[in-house]
Structure 1
Amino acid sequence: MENAKSTTPQQLSKPKVCAIVVSFQPDLPHLLALLEKLKLQTSTVLVVDNGSVARQEIASAVMALGVHYLQLPSNIGLAAGFNRGIHWALQQHASHVILFDQDSLPTPSMLRQLLFAEKQILTMGLPLAALGPAYVDVKSHQMGAVIGPERWFTRRKYKPDFAMLIEAGYLISSGQLIRTSVLQKVGLMREELFIDAVDIEWSLRARQQGLRNFVVADALMQHNLGDAKLSIGKTEIALHSPLRHYYIIRNALLLCRMKHIPWRWKVVDFLKTVRRFFAYLVLCSPRWQHLIWMCRGWRDGLLGRDGPAQK
C-alpha cells in the first residue's frame, strides 16, 4: 500500500470522502475508468485487491493514476475488503466513505448529488444511516428498483424518478455513501457473510438502531447486477455462477438466524429463497452444478456455517 500523509480532524471542515473499491480479477480497463471518475469526485481513492492473479499489473496501473493500493494475499471476501478499506479511511480522518465494487461506473455528478441530499436530510433532523444512487443495469439498460422498508409481508418496489428521495429498506453496497461517525456507531460489515447480502445485513442493522437509508434518484451510476438477466412476466431474475448461488441461498438463511433482522423480513426472504432455488434450477446450466452448490447453500445456511465456501 502506498504511504500517505494523514490529516488532522481540524482539517475536516468540508467533507473528506474516501472512495473504497474492492476488486477481484477485474476487467482492468473498466477498473481504471472507474478510478478516473472517482478521482475527480472524491478526496482520495483506495483500491483493495482481493488476491487477483494479475496483481502486479493491477498494482502498477492503479498506482500510475495516483490511486492508493492495498494488495491482499488471498480472496478474503467483499465484506472484509470493505472493512480493510474503512480502517484505512479512518486513519486518514475521512468524514465519509463511499463503497464500490469493480462493476460500477458513477456519473460525474453522483457524489455531489449524494452530499447535497445528505445535507438536506440532516437539516431536517432525520436519523440517517446511508445514501445510495439510483442505478442503471448495464445489460438490461433498465433502472434498478428501490426496495422499500417491509410492510407486513410485502416489500414495495419503487422505480426512481428524477429529483426523488426514496426511503429504502436496504442499499446495494456499490455507490453507498456512509459517514464514518455512523460506521463507528453501527459497526463494520459482517465478514462471515463473505460476499452476498453484506449490504442487506448492514442496512437492516442500521435500521434496527433507528437510522434510515435513502436512494437519491438524480445521483446515478451504471451497475452490473449479474452474469445474465431474465424477465418472467414482471419479475426480473439475475443469474449468476453456481458458487454465487451458493452464497445467495446460504446467506439468506444466515440472515434468518440473526436476532436483529425483523421477523417479517425473515418470512418474506425465506419464501423468496425457495422461489429462487427453483428458478435457478430451471433457468441455469449446467443444472447439476447449480443444484449441488445450492443444496450446499441450504445445508450450510441451516447449520449456521459461514465464511468462504468450502470447495
Structure 2
Amino acid sequence: MRATVLAVVLSLASAGGYALAAVAQARLAAGGAGARALLGRPLWWWAVGLNAAGALAHVAALHYGPLTLVQPLGALTLVAALPVGAAYEGRRVGRAEWRGALWTLGGLLGLVAVVGPARPGDALSLPEALAVAAVTAAGIAVLVRRGGRGLGLATASGVASGVASALTQTVTAAVARQLPGQAPAWWQTALLAVLVSMFAAGGLLLSQAAFRGGLAAPLAVVNLANPAAAAVIGVALLGESFRGGAAGWAVAAVSGAVAARGVLLLTAGGPGRVPAPRAPEPEPRPVTP
C-alpha cells in the first residue's frame, strides 16, 4: 500500500513538472526567443530542469507502481498545464479547452490501456536501433519541412521523445550486456547513448518551436505521439501487440479518433492562436457635389 501511494505521488509530481515546463516553454515561444537566445534565458533552464525532474519522477514511480497506474496519471500533464497556463495569462480556462482536454485525455487513456509494455529483457538489437534512429531522423526532417509549425513540430517532438525512450531501454540492456545478439563493444554503447541524447534534446527543442502556435493543442499532440511511436517500435520490432487482440486494435482505433477530436477542439478553441489578418477597411470616398 505504501509503495502504491508513493507511486501515485511521484506520478503526480512528474505530471506537474512536465506541465510547468510546458508552460515555461510556451511563454518563451510567445516571446519569440530564438534557439541561441534560449541559452541565455533563465526560464529556459528552468524548463529543462523541470523536464528532467519530471522524467526522473516518472522513472521512480515505475519502480514503485505498475505501468497501468503510472501511465494514466502521467497523462494528467495536459489537464494540469491548462489552468497553470491560463493563470499566467490572467484568464480562465475556456469551456472549449476543457472539452478538448477531456476528449484528448480519454483517447490517451484508451491508448495507454491497450498498449502493452515491453517484456523484461526486450530491447532492440544494435542494427535495429540504428535503423530506427535513421528512419526516425528522416521522418522528423519531413515533418519539420512540411509541418512547418504547430502540430507538425509537436508530432515530431513526440516521436523523437518516444524513440529516445526506446533507445534508452536499449542502452540499459547494452550496459547490462543483455542486448540481443552479440555483446556490444564500449563504443557501440557510447554511440547508443549519443543517439539517446540527440533525440531527447531534439524532442525538447521541437516542442519549444511547436509552442509558438499555443500551448494546449501542441502539448496534446506531443503526449499522443510519444506512446504511439513507442507502440510502433514494439509492434514492428519487439513482437508486441495491443492487449486483447482484435478488440485491442479496435479500442486503439477508437481512442485515436477520440484523441484527434480533442486536438481539433483545442486547436479551434484554445488561446494563443495567430488570428487571421483582417482585411483593411475601405477609406471613405470624398463626396463630390
TM-score, L = length of structure 1? 0.28
Q: Which structure is higher in strand share?
A: 1
Greater share of helix residues, 1 or 2? 2
TM-score, normalization by structure 2: 0.30
